[in-house]
Structure 1
Amino acid sequence: MSGISDVRLMLHSQELQAGQERATAPRDISRWRLFLHRCHTRKALLHLTREQLRDVGLSVEQAREEGLKPFWRD
């Protein structure tokens, strides 16, 4: 498995886990977990190489725009 495939699987796994926690946890806790998830994944986007971003289907500009969004924004 390539490195980017591992990253995509990890991010997808975290999204699924966050969705499950959101469905079962109290509303306030799940919201904070969502915020933490956004912080983590947006920070990770800023550290991906051009090749990794191309594998994910994002340009450098798109990744930078998403990575610099505040955690409270969708």
Structure 2
Amino acid sequence: MNGLIDVRLTLHSQELVRGQDNGAREAQLRNAPSGLSHWGLFWHRLHTRKALLALTPEQLTDVGLTREQAREEGLKPFWRI
């Protein structure tokens, strides 16, 4: 291999590592249990979003959301973050 290919491989591997770090960070931001498959994550989102729609005004106040914010999040399709 020539030097240019080595540089490209090194840069690509660094991008992959950064992508894995970003993926872990995104999972933490979503508050999803770790180790879920894609389908498990979709299932988790579906159920938590349905539960969000069922919260009372007092419960929404406790979590710091307005009814409009809860409705907006709760009506998102399960495949969207």
Do they fold alike, i.e. is TM over 0.5?
yes
> What letter is aligned with 2:57?
R
CA distance in 1, matches of 2:67, 2:57: 7
Q: Does 1:47 align with 2:64?
A: no
Instruction: After TM superposition, give the deviation of residue 63 of structure 1 in Å.
Output: 0.2
What root-mean-square deviation, in Å, do the aligned CA atoms of Structure 1 and Structure 2 show?
1.2
Match of 1:58 among 48, 65, 73: 65
Q: Could you tell me the TM-score, scaled by structure 2's length?
A: 0.59
Q: Which runs of 5+ in 2 are unaligned?
A: 1-30
Instruction: After TM superposition, give the deviation of residue 42 of structure 1 in Å.
Output: 0.1
% identity of equivalent residues: 69
How many pairs are equivalent?
A: 51
Instruction: After TM superposition, give the deviation of residue 64 of structure 1 in Å.
Output: 0.2
> What letter is aligned with 2:45?
R
Give the structure with the larger helix fraction.
Answer: 1
Match of 2:43 in 1: 36
Match of 2:77 in 1: 70
Q: Could you tell me the TM-score, scaled by structure 1's length?
A: 0.65
**Runs (4+) of structure 1 moved beyond 3 Å?**
none
> What letter is aligned with 2:51?
A
Identify which of structures 1 and 2 has the higher relative contact order when contacts are C-alpha pairs closer than 8 Å and 6+ apart.
1
Larger radius of gyration: 2
